[in-house]
Amino acid sequence: MRRIAILVLVTCALFLSTLDLGLCQERKIFRIEPVVGAIQPVGDLADFYQMGLVYGIKGEMEIAEYPCLALGIGLFFQEPGSKSENGETEFSIRQISGSLSYIIAPGSDFTPYLTFGAGNYREKVESPLTEAEPWIKVTTTNQRFGLNLGLGGNLFPDWAENVGVDLVGKYHVVYESHSTTKFFDFVGGLFYQF
Protein backbone atom coordinates (compact mmCIF):
# COMPACT_ATOMS: atom_id res chain seq x y z
CA MET A 1 0.00 0.00 0.00
CA ARG A 2 2.77 2.48 0.86
CA ARG A 3 4.69 1.42 -2.23
CA ILE A 4 1.67 2.31 -4.36
CA ALA A 5 1.39 5.74 -2.71
CA ILE A 6 5.11 6.44 -3.21
CA LEU A 7 4.94 5.27 -6.84
CA VAL A 8 1.95 7.56 -7.52
CA LEU A 9 3.68 10.55 -5.89
CA VAL A 10 6.92 9.99 -7.84
CA THR A 11 4.97 9.57 -11.11
CA CYS A 12 3.06 12.82 -10.48
CA ALA A 13 6.28 14.67 -9.64
CA LEU A 14 7.96 13.43 -12.82
CA PHE A 15 4.94 14.35 -14.94
CA LEU A 16 4.67 17.82 -13.43
CA SER A 17 8.39 18.46 -13.89
CA THR A 18 7.99 18.03 -17.67
CA LEU A 19 5.22 20.62 -17.99
CA ASP A 20 5.86 24.17 -19.16
CA LEU A 21 5.00 26.08 -16.04
CA GLY A 22 5.91 29.40 -17.69
CA LEU A 23 2.41 29.57 -19.15
CA CYS A 24 0.89 30.13 -15.74
CA GLN A 25 -0.09 33.60 -14.68
CA GLU A 26 0.38 34.88 -11.19
CA ARG A 27 -2.76 34.52 -9.12
CA LYS A 28 -3.80 35.03 -5.54
CA ILE A 29 -1.67 33.06 -3.09
CA PHE A 30 -4.23 31.57 -0.67
CA ARG A 31 -7.91 30.62 -0.80
CA ILE A 32 -10.40 29.18 1.66
CA GLU A 33 -13.61 27.41 0.69
CA PRO A 34 -16.59 25.71 2.34
CA VAL A 35 -17.89 22.87 0.14
CA VAL A 36 -21.04 20.78 -0.17
CA GLY A 37 -21.94 17.98 -2.57
CA ALA A 38 -22.80 14.33 -3.05
CA ILE A 39 -21.07 10.97 -2.46
CA GLN A 40 -21.73 7.96 -4.69
CA PRO A 41 -20.44 4.62 -3.31
CA VAL A 42 -19.05 2.09 -5.82
CA GLY A 43 -17.87 -1.51 -5.54
CA ASP A 44 -18.82 -3.45 -2.41
CA LEU A 45 -19.84 -0.28 -0.59
CA ALA A 46 -22.59 0.30 -3.19
CA ASP A 47 -24.22 -3.00 -2.15
CA PHE A 48 -25.21 -1.44 1.19
CA TYR A 49 -25.17 2.33 0.69
CA GLN A 50 -26.45 4.82 -1.86
CA MET A 51 -25.85 8.44 -2.81
CA GLY A 52 -25.52 10.73 0.17
CA LEU A 53 -24.13 14.03 1.42
CA VAL A 54 -20.60 15.50 1.49
CA TYR A 55 -19.67 18.71 3.29
CA GLY A 56 -16.46 20.24 4.54
CA ILE A 57 -13.90 23.00 4.25
CA LYS A 58 -10.65 23.25 2.35
CA GLY A 59 -7.76 25.65 1.97
CA GLU A 60 -5.29 25.94 -0.88
CA MET A 61 -1.97 27.73 -1.24
CA GLU A 62 -0.13 28.41 -4.46
CA ILE A 63 3.51 27.33 -4.69
CA ALA A 64 5.34 30.62 -5.32
CA GLU A 65 8.00 29.21 -7.68
CA TYR A 66 5.40 27.27 -9.70
CA PRO A 67 2.19 29.30 -10.00
CA CYS A 68 0.36 26.46 -11.83
CA LEU A 69 0.78 24.22 -8.77
CA ALA A 70 -1.13 24.48 -5.51
CA LEU A 71 -0.96 22.60 -2.21
CA GLY A 72 -4.19 22.06 -0.34
CA ILE A 73 -5.59 20.60 2.85
CA GLY A 74 -9.17 19.70 3.56
CA LEU A 75 -11.55 18.29 6.14
CA PHE A 76 -14.55 16.51 4.61
CA PHE A 77 -17.46 14.49 5.97
CA GLN A 78 -19.02 11.88 3.65
CA GLU A 79 -22.35 10.36 4.66
CA PRO A 80 -23.80 7.89 2.15
CA GLY A 81 -27.44 6.87 2.56
CA SER A 82 -28.33 3.38 3.81
CA LYS A 83 -30.02 0.84 1.51
CA SER A 84 -31.35 -1.25 4.42
CA GLU A 85 -35.10 -1.40 4.80
CA ASN A 86 -35.14 -0.01 8.31
CA GLY A 87 -32.34 2.49 7.62
CA GLU A 88 -30.93 1.96 11.10
CA THR A 89 -27.29 1.24 10.10
CA GLU A 90 -25.35 4.46 9.54
CA PHE A 91 -21.97 4.74 7.80
CA SER A 92 -19.84 7.87 7.62
CA ILE A 93 -16.32 8.86 6.64
CA ARG A 94 -14.29 11.74 8.02
CA GLN A 95 -11.45 12.59 5.65
CA ILE A 96 -8.43 14.75 6.41
CA SER A 97 -6.21 14.93 3.36
CA GLY A 98 -3.61 16.95 1.56
CA SER A 99 -3.62 17.58 -2.17
CA LEU A 100 -1.47 18.72 -5.07
CA SER A 101 -3.30 20.45 -7.93
CA TYR A 102 -2.12 21.40 -11.42
CA ILE A 103 -3.95 24.22 -13.24
CA ILE A 104 -4.46 23.04 -16.84
CA ALA A 105 -5.59 26.23 -18.60
CA PRO A 106 -4.90 29.30 -16.46
CA GLY A 107 -5.83 32.85 -17.33
CA SER A 108 -9.46 32.42 -18.36
CA ASP A 109 -12.84 32.80 -16.66
CA PHE A 110 -12.97 29.00 -16.24
CA THR A 111 -9.74 27.24 -15.23
CA PRO A 112 -9.76 23.42 -15.15
CA TYR A 113 -7.34 21.55 -12.91
CA LEU A 114 -6.17 18.05 -12.01
CA THR A 115 -5.84 17.14 -8.35
CA PHE A 116 -4.22 14.27 -6.45
CA GLY A 117 -4.63 13.74 -2.73
CA ALA A 118 -3.71 11.39 0.09
CA GLY A 119 -4.76 11.28 3.69
CA ASN A 120 -6.52 9.75 6.65
CA TYR A 121 -10.04 8.36 6.27
CA ARG A 122 -11.90 7.56 9.50
CA GLU A 123 -14.74 5.15 8.79
CA LYS A 124 -17.54 4.92 11.34
CA VAL A 125 -20.40 2.40 11.38
CA GLU A 126 -23.31 2.67 13.83
CA SER A 127 -25.84 -0.15 13.93
CA PRO A 128 -28.54 -1.25 16.37
CA LEU A 129 -27.54 -3.88 18.93
CA THR A 130 -30.73 -5.84 18.18
CA GLU A 131 -33.84 -5.28 16.09
CA ALA A 132 -35.90 -5.25 19.28
CA GLU A 133 -33.77 -2.42 20.74
CA PRO A 134 -32.84 -0.14 17.81
CA TRP A 135 -32.09 2.78 20.14
CA ILE A 136 -29.03 0.94 21.53
CA LYS A 137 -26.24 1.48 19.00
CA VAL A 138 -22.95 -0.34 18.49
CA THR A 139 -20.27 1.93 17.04
CA THR A 140 -17.18 0.72 15.16
CA THR A 141 -14.47 3.07 13.87
CA ASN A 142 -11.38 2.44 11.75
CA GLN A 143 -8.56 4.73 10.66
CA ARG A 144 -7.44 4.04 7.07
CA PHE A 145 -5.03 5.46 4.50
CA GLY A 146 -6.61 6.57 1.24
CA LEU A 147 -5.84 8.19 -2.11
CA ASN A 148 -7.99 10.35 -4.36
CA LEU A 149 -7.71 11.65 -7.90
CA GLY A 150 -9.97 14.23 -9.49
CA LEU A 151 -10.76 16.82 -12.10
CA GLY A 152 -12.21 20.21 -11.27
CA GLY A 153 -12.62 23.74 -12.41
CA ASN A 154 -12.72 27.25 -11.03
CA LEU A 155 -15.17 29.82 -12.36
CA PHE A 156 -14.31 33.47 -11.84
CA PRO A 157 -17.39 35.69 -12.23
CA ASP A 158 -16.96 39.24 -13.54
CA TRP A 159 -18.82 40.74 -10.59
CA ALA A 160 -16.33 39.67 -7.91
CA GLU A 161 -12.58 40.13 -7.87
CA ASN A 162 -11.63 37.80 -4.99
CA VAL A 163 -14.56 35.35 -5.10
CA GLY A 164 -15.05 32.31 -7.31
CA VAL A 165 -16.91 29.05 -7.69
CA ASP A 166 -15.10 25.69 -7.50
CA LEU A 167 -16.53 22.41 -8.85
CA VAL A 168 -14.62 19.11 -8.52
CA GLY A 169 -15.25 15.38 -8.89
CA LYS A 170 -12.92 12.87 -7.23
CA TYR A 171 -12.49 9.11 -7.10
CA HIS A 172 -11.41 7.80 -3.68
CA VAL A 173 -9.79 4.49 -2.73
CA VAL A 174 -9.45 3.72 0.99
CA TYR A 175 -7.17 0.79 1.75
CA GLU A 176 -8.20 -1.81 4.29
CA SER A 177 -6.58 -5.05 5.40
CA HIS A 178 -8.95 -7.32 3.44
CA SER A 179 -10.57 -5.00 0.91
CA THR A 180 -10.87 -1.41 -0.24
CA THR A 181 -13.62 1.17 0.12
CA LYS A 182 -14.27 3.06 -3.14
CA PHE A 183 -16.48 6.03 -3.87
CA PHE A 184 -16.89 9.13 -6.02
CA ASP A 185 -17.73 12.51 -4.64
CA PHE A 186 -18.82 15.64 -6.44
CA VAL A 187 -18.57 18.92 -4.54
CA GLY A 188 -18.95 22.60 -5.19
CA GLY A 189 -18.03 25.60 -3.16
CA LEU A 190 -17.67 29.34 -3.08
CA PHE A 191 -14.09 30.40 -2.37
CA TYR A 192 -12.43 33.62 -1.28
CA GLN A 193 -8.89 34.44 -2.43
CA PHE A 194 -6.35 36.42 -0.39
Our CA angle for 42, 150, 93, nearest 5°, is 50
pLDDT at 103: 86
Sequence-ordered list of residues with C-beta below 8 angstroms from that of 115, at least 6 positions apart, any chain: 72, 99, 100, 101, 102, 148, 149, 150, 151, 152, 168, 170
For residue 6, the surrounding DSSP H or E stretch is helix 2-17
Query: Could you give the CA distance from residue 67 to residue 61 in angstroms, rounded to a whole number?
Result: 10
Contact between residue 77 and residue 92 where contact means Cβ atoms under 8 Å apart: yes
Sequence-ordered list of residues with C-beta below 8 angstroms from that of 158, at least 6 positions apart, any chain: 109
For 123: left if phi > 0, alpha if psi spans -120 to 50, otherwise beta; the answer is beta
pLDDT at 33: 96
Q: Cα 72 to chain center, whole Å? A: 11
pTM of the model: 0.82
Nearest Cα to Cα of residue 30 among 89, 2, 71: 71
pLDDT in tens, 59-97: 999 887 777 899 999 999 999 988 776 556 788 999 999
pLDDT at 21: 47
Amino acid (one-letter) located at 104: I
* Total number of domains in the chain: 1
pLDDT at 34: 97
> In terms of residue numbers, what domain contains 174?
2-193
What CATH number is attached to the domain comprising 37? 2.40.160.20
Q: What is the pLDDT along the chain (194 residues), one digit of tens a residue?
A: 555 555 555 555 545 454 544 555 555 679 999 999 999 999 888 988 999 999 999 999 988 777 789 999 999 999 998 877 655 678 899 999 999 999 887 767 888 999 999 999 999 988 877 666 767 788 889 999 999 999 999 998 877 788 999 999 999 999 987 888 999 999 999 999 88
pLDDT at 51: 94
